[in-house]
Amino acid sequence: MVLYHAFTPYLGWQYAQSDLQPRYNSIFLNYLWFILPLFTFVSGCLFSYLFNEKGKYTNVAGFIQKKFFRLILPYFVFSLLMGLTLSNLTWFALFNGYEHLWFMVMLFWCFVAARCLIQIKFVQKNLILQLAILGISFFVSLKFYPQNYLYLDYFVRYFCWFWAGYVFMLHKSKLTGFFSTRNMVILFAGYILACILVDLFVPQSDSIYGYKNGFRYDILKYISYSCFILFAYISIHKVVTRKNFVCPVWIEQVNACSYGIYIFHHWIIRYAFSANFPYQQTVFRFAELHPIIFPITAFLVMFILSFAITKLLLYTKTGRFLIG
């Protein structure tokens, strides 16, 4: 996600013009757009693991309250602070998806919906019904977009991936034969093939983001998302289940700060391009003149600064409450 936002000045934001812009669009919108479905799928997996294997979240009301303080409260706090520094926050934006923080509220609705569904005993115990819900949620995500108020639009688009993660994790013990190197290669090949087909045969829309649309694109992108997500799961599973596997310390540290990195990295680059930043024109010129060096520099600056800010905040009681 940090890497993607390092390139967004050349993508949807249109802050900088470059001959490389069409290629950046192609890479990120055709080949790397699995990021949000992947994060949502992983969230569903973690929820399933904690609920079914660790016995957490047994009380529905307590669970919803916990997620409210974990996701909704930080959303409003950081939206207001970010809006003050960027001078672009409106009441409409606050309740309809402000900047990148919309993902937090969408995730809240996913948690609430999934927890309410599994409260129904025959849903929790019936694989056919779970798959039916999965199929319906995928179909709805392709066809029906409600008015984007209180983030229902985003919820409808991404709940299918959250529920897929929940169901996959719930039944992973029955899928041990699936975690093979052969299947990993097949899934990666399927992902590449679907992405190439999108790149070659699906016309690009007139949107400034360059998004593609249409039934062919919807089907191909869902195939590519699914292939890559399963490929990533099998790859990581093979690594962490190795004998004497020890997670590197730096990964543990980044993981502990991941929530804060998500919140602050986007804020940093948006502020760098805003009129409130005293060196805005310098940033613009750097981005225009160096379309290869700038994204690399932006990635490093965003990652290091957001990591450092998060570490500092976690030393405070308020910081631990909001992003700990």
Residues 186-245 pLDDT 10s: 999 999 998 888 777 766 654 444 455 666 777 888 888 899 999 998 888 888 888 788
Q: Is the pLDDT of residue 307 over 70?
A: yes
320/297 same-domain check: yes
**Torsion of the alpha carbons at 138, 143, 147 and 150, rounded to the nearest 10:** 10
How many domains, the chain? Answer: 3
Model pTM score? 0.89
Domain limit, last residue, from 144, 170, 196: 170
Average pLDDT, integer, range 291-319 = 92
Q: Is the pLDDT of residue 263 over 60?
A: yes
User: Angle formed by the axes of helices 249-256 and 258-272, to 10°?
Assistant: 70
Structure tokens at 240: 């962490």
Considering only CA atoms, which of 51, 92, 98, 53 is closest in space to residue 72? 98
**Domain for residue 9, yes or no?**
no
CB-based contacts of 82, cutoff 8 Å, min separation 6 = 89, 98, 99, 101, 267, 270
pLDDT of residue 239: 84
Q: Which residue has the higher pLDDT, 196 or 46?
A: 46
Q: Within 13 A of 54's CA, how many CA atoms are on the CB side?
A: 10
pLDDT of residue 212: 53
Domain span at residue 237 reads 176-245
166/25 same-domain check: yes
111/181 same-domain check: no
23/164 same-domain check: yes
Q: Which residue has the higher pLDDT, 249 or 216?
A: 249
262/201 same-domain check: no
State the sign of the Cα–Cα–Cα–Cα dihedral 169, 171, 164, 109.
negative
**Domain for residue 82, yes or no?**
yes
Domain limit, last residue, from 191, 224, 245: 245
- For the chain, how many residues are written? 324
Residues 93-135 pLDDT 10s: 777 778 888 899 999 999 999 999 999 888 888 899 999 999 9
User: Exposure of 183 by Cβ count < 10 A (0-12 exposed, 13-18 middle, 19+ buried)?
Assistant: middle
Domain limit, last residue, from 197, 225, 245: 245
197/295 same-domain check: no
Average pLDDT, integer, range 19-23 = 78
pLDDT of residue 210: 47
180/286 same-domain check: no
